[in-house]
Amino acid sequence: MAIVDVGSNTARLVVFHTAPGGFLRALDEVKESPRLGLGVGPDGTISREAIDRGLAGLKRFERTLHAFGSPRTVGVATSAVRDAPNGRIFVEKVAHETGITLRVLSGTEEARYAYLGVSSSWELDTDLICDLGGGSLQIAATRKGLLKNSVSLPLGALRLTQRFFEHDPPKGREVDDLREHVRANLADALEAIGKEHGRLFGVGGTVRSLAKVAINLRDYPIPRVHGFPLRSHDLEALGELLLELPSEKRWAIPGIGADRADVIVAGLVVIEELLRAGATDLMTVSGTGIREGLALEEIHARLPASAEELARRSVEGASEALAFSVSHGEEVERVARQLFNLLSDRLHWGDEERRALTVAAWMHDAGVAIDLWRHARHSAYLLRNVPLWGLSQREILLASMAAFLHEGDEAPSSWRRDYLPLIRGSDIELARQLGSLLYVAETLQGGDPKFTLPEGSTVLTVAWGRASENGLPPKAIEKVRKPLRREFHLEVKARDP
């Protein structure tokens, strides 16, 4: 299926493959920059030039849709068309000249679809979701994962740039005036929807562009915007860089395209004020938003969902795309989880470690889709690079390292240097322990083992659910003694079924 999203600054077409259980895989994305919100009249009327640009871009979308066999298509338009007296005329022209039907979303609907998109990749609780577009800013508040309230504000990056910036780069007083305006609007909005929240999620092209620049500046270990922690000090550094440059020089910075170069400073100010108003120094960037929300509603995906359920949908979608089996991974996960449960209290492991182990078990052999030889390394690469929803970037990296190590290889010395911005000091040791659990589970899973480890004991007893002649190698128990002794100081005692 396809989603067409026409915003105030850009328009996007995404063609999705839908997988069982509610997972989406993007097959193609096309972006146009009709800038419908550029040069609007005092009453919000879209200019003739902008309408012509929009029609030309959507005609190119129509050709892409035809190349994909004209899939079922859902089209929406947001702030610029919503606010324009001639918005209906534009929608009618689009339908007549391209065959694409656009539904004009209200601010409330736009916020809801952003919420659905974010909830498709994160287990939400009491959080704020902020979708920054060219014409408006949507803020959605959640409680226990459900959408509680939302507000739409005229604080889009293109709209604010046109209103406040007369110079390029903007003068200091222009930035100060913009900041004061944004601050006042956010204070009223957060008061209206409630200030109680945990995390702050950011959605939208400007948020993603700023994250891309920060990733490049920091040489970040996972070069993906989804899940990237955009922090106050990142924004401060970006402000020092961008505020001194005219738009034609911002364009040359990796991560900032021509359609963002002139509006990104206004967007940066909005995000800085969002963090300040929310009393946080961190915005988690979400790569999923309104387009995914629209598609998920169309396929009746169950949302919200737990982090583990979202991860499972991701792995099943990846297995369908890459042709690796999940069933063996599920068997290994079942055995590995037994060991995890026995060890978690004494090693102070929690939900993050459990999710990392679970997904690593599901995908520890996914690398055979690339090549059987050195497949553990290929599995580690896939874990870092396929879309995995429900997990933080640290959890993804732990899962990747555990999969790399599950056949007994040594951790590369470069990990500590390359991954340090993301992992904690003891995470390489933790990944080695999780990899050892995968090794033990994979070695013993053919015998359906049952483990016991009394509190305070260092003797792990293994009883077989199936006789060894049903597939368990006779020396399997000997193979697991060394990693269990080395990583957990445990001795192994086997007991017949």
Q: Each residue of 252-306: pLDDT tens digit?
A: 999 998 889 999 999 999 999 999 998 899 999 999 999 999 999 999 999 999 9
Tally of CA atoms within 13 A in the half-sphere of 127 that contains its CB = 19
pLDDT of residue 496: 64
Instruction: Tell me the pLDDT tens digit for each residue of 136-187.
Output: 999 999 999 999 999 999 999 999 999 999 999 999 999 999 999 999 999 9
How far is Cα 437 from Cα 59, in angstroms, rounded to an integer? 54
For residue 197, what pLDDT is reported?
A: 82
Which pLDDT score, from 0 to 100, does residue 468 have?
A: 52
Q: Which residues does the chain have with pLDDT short of 70?
A: 195, 466-474, 496-497
pLDDT at residue number 9: 95
**Spatial distance between the Cα atoms of 178 and 408, rounded to a whole number of angstroms:** 56
Q: Which amino acid is at 442?
A: E
Work out the angle at residue 495's Cα, subtended by the Cα atoms of residues 490 and 497, and round it to the nearest 5 degrees.
140
Q: What is the pLDDT of residue 425?
A: 81
Q: Which of 127, 71, 145, 101 is nearest to 6 (CA)?
A: 101
The domains located in the chain, with CATH, are 2-105 (3.30.420.40), 108-289 (3.30.420.150), 307-495 (1.10.3210.10)
> pLDDT value at position 473?
64
What pLDDT does residue 345 have?
A: 95
pTM: 0.93
The confidence score (pLDDT) of residue 464 equals 84
Over the chain, what HEC string results? CEEEEECCCCEEEEEEEEECCCEEEEEEEEEECCCCCCCCCCCCCCCHHHHHHHHHHHHHHHHHHHHCCCCCEEEEECHHHHHCCCHHHHHHHHHHHHCCCEEECCHHHHHHHHHHHHHCCCCCCCCEEEEECCCCEEEEEEECCEEEEEEEECCCHHHHHHHHCCCCCCCHHHHHHHHHHHHHHHHHHHHHHCCCCCCEEEECHHHHHHHHHHHHHHCCCCCCCCCCEEEHHHHHHHHHHHCCCCHHHHCCCCCCCCCCCCCHHHHHHHHHHHHHHCCCCEEEECCCCHHHHHHHHHCCCCCCCCHHHHHHHHHHHHHHHHCCCCHHHHHHHHHHHHHHHHHHHHHCCCHHHHHHHHHHHHHCCHHHHCCCCCHHHHHHHHHHHCCCCCCCHHHHHHHHHHHHHCCCCCCCCHHHHHCCCCCCCCHHHHHHHHHHHHHHHHHHHHHCEEEECCCCCCEEEEEECCCHHHCCCCCHHHHHHHHHHHHHCCEEEEECC
Distance of CA 355 to the CA centre of its chain: 16
